[in-house]
Amino acid sequence: MSKVFIIAEAGVNHNGNIELAYQLVDAAVSAGVDCVKFQTYITENDTAKNCKKAEYQNSDDDENQYEMLKKLELSFKDFRNLKKYCEEKGIIFLSSPFDLDSIDFLETLDPIFWKVASSELTNYPFLRKVAQTHRDVVVSTGMASLEEIEMSLNVLKKFGAGKITLLHCNTEYPTPFKDVNLSAMDDLRRIFGGDVGYSDHTLGIEVSIAAVAMGATMIEKHFTLDKNMEGPDHKASLNPVELKDMVTAIRNIELSIGDGKKKITESESKNRIAARKSIVANCAIKKGEIYTEQNLAAKRPGGGISPMQWENVIGKVANRDYEEDEMIVL
């Protein structure tokens, strides 16, 4: 299979601190991911001042979602510096926009593609503006019905989006395993065609690995420097060690999937002689004796007459003397 594109989702796990954002980039580089992704927004453009938090975002304080996001917001200058830092470190920088002004800004950073968050799947002006850049688009499908996905794709295609990749997703943090439904990736491929990946909000790394085994071409996974930090997404994120373990496992799975053709591999071919069996004398056999079920046996090693030729050997006459366990030669 082709290489899976792995996105380390830093999101807002920098807690509004650019120095923590740089450290997240460093951790992503160390883990060996393809891309580190953030979230770019102007809080006033994205969220109403009286908007309540999602249930998973609730904490002991009484702040609302607007107040929470405002604390986590980085400036456009910060993101420009992050892009430069990523270039220096040799990793792809990406950020999901959440408002129209942020799309305009991120366009100046020449993104390799747009990542549309599940929250923007039904945002017509947003989708239209993204599509009008004519770049490739990756769309998360959390909370979405098939009808909503189809409508979103229609908007993107109508206004000139490039290649579109869908990410199966569940937006609960963390996602209960019973709600993951990885088989829905097959549904997305069958109905909409094209590449399908998985945006993973479960705890641990096993679901992302399973998604790759089931054909996901892209994996997006939240990570943090410390799960105990204050903020909405840390507890449902991987730490740097777990992120590296996930990358290693995914790369191993890529190699393991292979080309789908059953054949003898180079590594196992050397085992055929030691592991297979040959037709041998089960006891001493004199020249002229008839081969029978009693005086022949199938034993290791291979390399002689295959036991699959058993019926062709039984009843023939020994052409010489054989000692016990000696391979029969016709």
Question: What domains are there in the chain, each with its CATH number?
Answer: 5-257 (3.20.20.70), 266-313 (3.90.1210.10)
pLDDT at res. 62? 73
In the structure encoding, which two tokens stand for residue 216, read together? 């996901």
pLDDT at res. 179? 98
Q: Which residues on adjacent β-strands are paired with residue 114?
A: 137
- Bridging pattern class, strands 278-281 and 296-299: antiparallel
In the structure encoding, which two tokens stand for residue 35, read together? 């891309």
What is the 3-class SS of the chain, one letter each residue?
A: CCCCEEEEEEECCCCCCHHHHHHHHHHHHHHCCCEEEEEECCHHHHCCCCCCCCHHHCCCCCCCHHHHHHHHCCCHHHHHHHHHHHHHHCCEEEEEECCHHHHHHHHCCCCCCEEECHHHCCCHHHHHHHHCCCCCEEEECCCCCHHHHHHHHHHHHHCCCCCEEEEEECCCCCCCHHHCCCCHHHHHHHHHCCCEEEEECCCCCHHHHHHHHCCCCEEEEEECCCCCCCCCCHHHCECHHHHHHHHHHHHHHHHHHCCCCCCCCHHHHCCHHHHCCEEEECCCECCCCECCCCCEEEECCCCCCCHHHHHHHCCCECCCCECCCCECCC
Task: Work out the widest C-alpha separation in the chain, in whole angstroms.
Answer: 101
In the structure encoding, which two tokens stand for residue 59, read together? 């904490």
CA nearest 217: which of 243, 202, 201, 199?
Answer: 199
In the structure encoding, which two tokens stand for residue 85, read together? 């830092």
Distance CA 171, CA 25 (A): 24
Residue 8 has phi, psi (to 5 degrees) of -90, 110
pLDDT at res. 59? 63
pLDDT at res. 48? 85
pLDDT at res. 47? 87
pLDDT at res. 60? 61
Distance CA 8, CA 5 (A): 10
Amino acid, res. 247: V
pLDDT in tens, the chain (330 residues): 689 999 999 999 999 999 999 999 999 999 999 999 999 999 998 888 888 877 665 566 678 888 888 999 999 999 999 999 999 999 999 999 999 999 999 999 999 999 999 999 999 999 999 999 999 999 999 999 999 999 999 999 999 999 999 999 999 999 999 999 999 999 999 999 999 999 999 999 999 999 999 999 999 999 999 999 998 899 999 999 999 999 999 999 999 999 999 999 999 999 999 999 999 999 999 999 999 999 999 999 999 999 999 999 999 999 999 999 999 999
CB-side neighbour CA atoms (13 Å) of 80: 7
- Bridging pattern class, strands 5-11 and 35-40: parallel
Burial 258-272 (b: 16+ CB within 10 A, else e): eeeeeeeeeeeeeee
